[in-house]
């Protein structure tokens, strides 16, 4: 094979690889757009759909790798905003295990419990199991494809000593199938763990998961907002729904 032929074949191979990558990117974007439209067209509450703008749930589930037929363990599902999304994503062959503890179900005069009960009434989300368990008492083993912890790890970090956090993460790890992943979203802090502001620096989350035997597989920046005012509590009207958030995917090592 002469040199010119080799160069031509190399150029063709590189062009083909680039074309395939572009096609895959287009297909991924199309899949995300389709699911986003499905969420809009679904019978989810209008208030949920309004929150989609800031939360970008279609991009979130794509980044976490959640697919039809999977089993997802949702840590602290609260009133069920993401429970609905996950239920739709995994479909009739999948399952969502929506975990809550008694505290989250009892606060605010049971507001979250009532909201979730309403979503699950009449088997409307018949692929969802409400898993009422305290942290450290999980009993699921090798059943879950993806675990989600959305806007809640900062509370675990603030309220649990390191030993308890490691116990919870080990039980989450035990629940996962080989190669299973954990998707985490939380509100960024510029000063470590700020309990009163419900913010946490991403390095603290990364370090906890590393200590528990997880590997950080990927980061996403589609929920970042450098204009966030880090001095404000995340519930302040000036920043609520617009906080700077990090998005991580950890893999079971």
Interval 189-233: pLDDT, tens: 999 999 999 999 999 999 999 999 999 999 999 999 999 999 999
What's the mean pLDDT in 182-191? 96
Q: By percentage, how much of the chain surpasses pLDDT 70?
A: 88
CA distance 150 to 154: 10
Phi and psi torsions of 74, nearest 5°: -100, 115
Give 70's contacts (C-beta < 8 A, 6+ positions apart): 90, 94, 95, 145, 146
What's the mean pLDDT in 23-42? 73
Higher pLDDT, 40 or 5: 40
* Beta strand extents in the chain (DSSP E only): 71-75, 95-100, 128-132, 144-150, 176-187, 193-194, 199-200, 214-220, 245-252
What's the mean pLDDT in 37-41? 91
C-alpha separations of 52 from 93, 240, 241 in Å: 25, 13, 10
Determine the pLDDT at residue 1. 57
Determine the pLDDT at residue 24. 46
Classify the phi-psi angles of 100: left when phi > 0, otherwise alpha if psi is within -120 to 50, otherwise beta. Answer: beta
**Kind of pairing between the strands at 245-252 and 176-187:** antiparallel
The CATH classification of domain 45-252, taken from the options 3.10.105.10, 3.40.960.10, 3.40.50.300, 3.40.50.150: 3.40.50.150
What is the widest separation between alpha-carbon atoms in the chain?
79
Domain boundaries along the sequence of the chain: 1-41, 45-252
Determine the pLDDT at residue 180. 97
Tell whether the model's pLDDT for residue 153 goes beyond 70: yes
Residue 237 sits at the vertex; the CA angle it makes with 235 and 238, to the nearest 5 degrees, is 110
Interval 101-121: pLDDT, tens: 999 999 999 999 999 999 999
Classify the phi-psi angles of 9: left when phi > 0, otherwise alpha if psi is within -120 to 50, otherwise beta. Answer: alpha
CA distance 154 to 133: 19
**Kind of pairing between the strands at 144-150 and 193-194:** unpaired
CA distance 113 to 80: 9
Higher pLDDT, 23 or 139: 139
pLDDT band at residue 4, thresholds of 50, 70 and 90?
A: low
* Cβ neighbours, 10 Å, residue 181: 23
């Amino acid at each position: 094979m002469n040199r010119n032929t080799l160069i031509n074949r190399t150029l063709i191979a590189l062009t083909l690889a680039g074309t395939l990558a572009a096609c895959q990117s287009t297909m991924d974007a199309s899949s995300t757009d389709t699911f986003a439209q499905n969420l809009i067209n679904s019978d989810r509450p209008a208030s949920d759909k309004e929150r989609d703008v800031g939360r970008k749930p279609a991009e979130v589930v794509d980044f976490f790798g959640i697919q039809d037929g999977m089993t997802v363990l949702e840590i602290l599902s609260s009133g069920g905003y993401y429970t609905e999304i996950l239920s739709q994503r995994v479909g009739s062959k999948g399952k969502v295990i929506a975990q809550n503890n008694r505290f989250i179900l009892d606060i605010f005069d049971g507001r979250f419990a009532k909201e979730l009960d309403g979503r699950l009434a009449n088997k409307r989300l018949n692929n969802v199991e409400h898993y009422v368990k305290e942290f450290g008492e999980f009993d699921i083993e090798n059943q879950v494809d993806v675990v989600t912890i959305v806007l809640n790890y900062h509370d675990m970090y603030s309220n649990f000593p390191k030993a308890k956090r490691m116990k919870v993460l080990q039980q989450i790890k035990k629940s996962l199938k080989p190669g299973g992943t954990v998707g985490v979203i939380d509100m960024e802090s510029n000063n470590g763990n700020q309990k009163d502001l419900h913010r946490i620096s991403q390095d603290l989350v990364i370090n906890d998961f590393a200590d528990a035997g997880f590997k950080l597989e990927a980061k996403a920046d589609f929920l970042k907002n450098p204009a966030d005012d880090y001095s404000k509590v995340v519930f302040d009207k000036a920043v609520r729904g617009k906080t700077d958030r990090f998005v991580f995917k950890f893999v079971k090592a």
